[in-house]
Structure 1
């Protein structure tokens, strides 16, 4: 059984690798950069090809853009070392390919074909491997079957190498059991908050000497922040939008541009399952109607997923006439009779019926006016960018920009706490922190399409105001510190009494009991230090005092319950941790092996080729 599980996992891994290869190679054909540059370096005799590096770098940039939710420029990628990360990864992979070559590790044509036959993307209407479908999929990615199969053969060889190095590496059971024994432990405890009401009376009024001492010892908390006095000139779309009135032709054009959103025909959300012949499709429909099977079961039996058969949201015009007639004949969710298509007979399942809707021009006219005006304002601002750059380069001051152009001049005492006006833009804040005295202003863009230029006039360092100017603030801080000190002293007294066996209620404390709490539980309206401290205590009846921002907490441990190692949750955790730990151990061992292989074969890089690839990506 274990062998079967590993085999299944390996097949899944192969499918994933194949699909990633097809998707990742899209758009990067054999053309590369042109000329004679074919590789950016090599490990031993195995080259790191231009296509591999170009593809890997583009994928890394695209991944970072999706993760951040905004485009990542090539300049940013280079500054942050994304290109270096890709080269290191490719060097490690190429080193393993070179090692497999030296060792003579490879897989035969039969194994390559077997793996290709398992990829759903390469299967035809009958659900089996189809050579035409396979070649068409590669052609769309500008790939030749021979090149793709060589990549597959190299990947398979690296897998063989990895399995030979890491096979049989498993995590010791004691590790997982010890970890769950720690994480799964439960504790019951009683705690109370020491508040100001427990004190015998209010704090005494501080003397001048006490305030002076407190001021001297805690002066940094009363310092003013660093102030960066900045002059700026800026222009945003909002400053222009009220003066813009789009004409009717522009509104009509925008309405037509958004017609697909505002006016939609009747649509259906459908799935398509193809069959080898009409007899098979008819038999499948009959079995569904008889309740002997379902559309989902037929998809699963074919080795497909619902994503594989999903056709999405379609209108009548999106479909060939016979298909459209069958699909749109259904006025509610259901399954069509077999339909002949260009790819053979198929069943279509309609999952939702979306009614047509039309939005008259007049109903959205105000919205179109606002959108068109905002768009024109953004374009008008960006059109000013080049003019502003030229004026600044010619020696114009920010004050002159505010007088001679549509930009508005302003000044701000900027600090980290400033958020009003232009300080609310992250772009400005970054520039404000970067500026040095004497820097010439440069035109920059704002996140809403605005532009600005800024100049640092002066830095006012943090300073401690005289005590006389902030006496009330110092007195309030002294009073809070004194309250905390007195509560801490009271807490030590109460803790000693608890340790002697006195109950919390007898000490005038409003105790609260927590039963069977875990390490990761959340106790509302109390510092996380309470739970952490409760799990630091070693035996029942032990107590602890926990300082807080306003005073203190006192806790008494009632009971320790060991983790239930036989519980289903524990067994699932142990199995998962053992699997993850074994995978991590294998990954660490294989990484060390890869580093040794790379050092043995040697890595060479052609920096000219690297620079050429970097320059080709925009």
Structure 2
């Protein structure tokens, strides 16, 4: 499918060129219409933004955020909606919608257009609309639209928007090169070296041993629900079917005879030959080469002496050889014996001298001889057609509203039901449960939809094995009962209290360093249970090499001013760091070797192209005009994070 939304958000050009429709296909967006016909908090037809002459409905934004979250959860199964929104997911989706509409209107104003035929072709190429045979399937197309509450007009509009954006932003983003003078400061920045010190103040030694009581722990839980929340779980009912499930008609003798008759040339006697040949630039050179070879010189040696190179053909029939040479040359070549030299004769590429290397003669095959091969091929084709028909029949039953129980009973398929599963396939509270690996596509697909009880089809092994399934129950993300997690809450509360003490000590150490004390002396004066001072640093260009994550203290070091000191919290209530930057060495940009600057300039060009696209996006929004209803956006934020009730 299409790239995940988190990857689209990671680059500027991905954000602007993928946009709404790619997200729709990749994560099965269930769009409302853009005028906001969905209701929110009792407000019908409300709009969160106006972009030029277009409006973004509150219902559309809600649906897109929810389904962007579903897609992100495929990579992070434990991700909650609250965490997704708090990390910027809502704002990113809204920005994407606004920028897409602004780009579309700007492109239209500039005279760019998209034909219906181009949109038709793009639809036909989308994997989501491919049937079991791999080609575009109108039934799958209509089913996809219906399942996602989407009209064909809406889909075509999103496609038109994407194609306009490709025309407008694509050439700008693909900047071919960066000037050397522009790359020099970046080269100097990558060659910059920094050295500093870091001291770790752990939280655990300062954690209290007391129990604050249930009330305090309940408050701690309310403030840290995301940490203790079990992600959404789903109960899936399913039935498997494969080629063995579909009745396959027997191959008849009459069918075999018809195939034999219709393909008589395939079973007639045939001969193929392989040739070693040399192509000379003119007839005189070809005649000299042919004379040498006929005189006993090896073809390869004669060709090498003339500054030419021989080549070897594949297995050729008379007709295929004639197609690359001429009818007369082919007749001569197929009348010669093994080892004979033929030519020279003229072709479109030059004058050819060839040697017959191998002759393969295949005798004619009778109907009896060919029957096993034809029977096997017909049986394979009939089996493929049978499973396609079987699949389509079940798809028709699903489309007509039949339940999974009715379809399984009608087809005599065995039904199975999973325990409540996470998107990863694990069953919390049932450590002994193991989901078959072949069902992973089914679980992934089941977590992309939102409705309970609706039958769906999933492909487990392409063209071979399938499943019909329904989500029987959706268990919303929530913390377990208080009594069940009280020990974990108590441990986390203690670490949180220790983290506060560690924070205060870190700030006191930083203040002492700012007052002129060395980091080592400030750490020693802060008391026991504090780690030793460590030296950190390196070269900027070496950070994150080979895909290795950059330690947070090193990342902070490279964003600090020289001789400054900062504190850094370690996630998970593990403690705090105090970081002091002592030395910064950056070379003169003009002193860097040209080869090194050129090597740095090449990968910088795409990033510079992204910068230009960002500027174009800002200009598009300025020209078109954008107004955001921040109050409604905040209402949606509260709804999605569970901090405000949704009105009936």
Q: What range describes the TM-score normalised by the shorter chain of this pair?
A: 0.3 to 0.5
TM score, norm. by length of structure 1: 0.48
